[in-house]
Amino acid sequence: MSGGPAHVTGPVVGVLALQGDVREHLTALAAVGAVPRQVRRPEELAAVDGLVIPGGESTTIFKLAAAFGLLEPLRERVRAGLPVYGSCAGMIMLADKILDPRSGQETVGGIDMIVRRNAFGRQNESFEAAVEVAGVPGGPVEGVFIRAPWVESTGAAAEILAEHEGHPVAVRQGRLLATAFHPELTGDHRVHRLFVGMITEAGGATGADGA
Ligand code: GLN
């Protein structure tokens, strides 16, 4: 140690930047001390300590991920233990199984859950509701639901962190986190802080430089 201030840098966290609310996630990640990076290519995916799959349209994200040669690399990194957080369309991408897929639509998978696309959308295209999320201190978060999915069922390994009207809307399995709502749109970064904490626990933080 030279005696100067330690250069503490957060983990490098990618945001899958094919479609959706990429910029909002980059801002939220920077706000909680991560080093955000856009990910569009396999080489960029290989260089991150964690990844966010944003909200947007899961059918489009799937098609572009396939076209960019990212689907198999994504599956491999998830299998190898990469921490990944998916919001809304990203939740759909992390589900092992989806109901109401567009024809041919596949997911990355990783969380043992069945997710129903557009589940809340049938009654209500878009709404906000206070959601208490296990592991997020400081009271409920404002859940922004936009043509949101819900979790129809979970396997034993998946932990339900939050429910809305009896439907699971936040789930964690190991290093994978998914929410049906969009914390990136609210300016409240507690869910991103939870995720970056998961990356740090997984050993993804670079910590104090040179220490
Ligand atoms: N309904 C969208 C889908 O199927 C998800 C909507 C969202 O991400 N806000 O991908």
Q: pLDDT tens-digit profile of 64-80?
A: 999 999 999 999 999 99
The token pair that represents 19 in the structure block? 């479609």
Confidence (pLDDT) at 100: 86
The catalytic position among 24, 25, 164, 182 is: 182
Q: Establish whether 182 is a catalytic residue.
A: yes
Confidence (pLDDT) at 182: 98
Give CA–CA dist 183/91, Å, rounded.
13
The pTM assigned to this predicted structure is 0.93
To which residue do tokens 């290093």 refer? 175
Strand partners, 53: 86
Instruction: Give the residue extent of every domain in the chain.
Output: 12-201
What is the rounded average pLDDT of the residues 157-168?
97
Cβ–ligand 1 contact at 57 (below 6 Å): yes
Ligand 1 nearest-atom number relative to CA 146: 9
Give CA–CA dist 161/113, Å, rounded.
13
Ligand 1 centroid–CA 6 distance in Å is 41
With the most atoms of ligand 1 within 8 angstroms of its CB, the residue from 147, 150, 181, 184 to mutate is: 147
Give CA–CA dist 131/82, Å, rounded.
26
Cβ–ligand 1 contact at 92 (below 6 Å): yes
Determine the 3-state secondary structure of 68 from DSSP: coil
For 107-155, how does the pLDDT look when each residue is reduced to its tens digit (9 = 90+)?
999 999 999 999 997 656 799 999 999 999 999 999 999 999 999 999 9
pLDDT of 194 above 50: yes
Cβ–ligand 1 contact at 63 (below 6 Å): no
With the most atoms of ligand 1 within 8 angstroms of its CB, the residue from 92, 105, 181 to mutate is: 92
For 90-99, how does the pLDDT look when each residue is reduced to its tens digit (9 = 90+)?
999 999 999 9
Comparing CA positions, the residue from 65, 53, 69, 51 lying closest to residue 14 is 51
Confidence (pLDDT) at 123: 59
Report DSSP state, residue 134: T
pLDDT of 206 above 90: no
pLDDT of 192 above 50: yes
The catalytic position among 88, 164, 189, 192 is: 88
Cβ–ligand 1 contact at 60 (below 6 Å): no
Q: Establish whether 7 is a catalytic residue.
A: no
Say which residue, 180 or 9, is predicted with more confidence.
180
Q: 100 to each of 12, 36, 85, 160, 169, how far by Cα in Å?
A: 34, 32, 22, 22, 17
pLDDT level of residue 209 (50, 70, 90 thresholds): very low
Determine contact, residues 136/190, Cβ cutoff 8 Å: yes
pLDDT of 2 above 80: no
Confidence (pLDDT) at 9: 83
CATH class of 12-201: alpha beta
For 6-65, how does the pLDDT look when each residue is reduced to its tens digit (9 = 90+)?
566 899 999 999 999 999 999 999 999 999 999 999 999 999 999 999 999 999 999 999
Q: What is the mean pLDDT of the chain?
A: 93
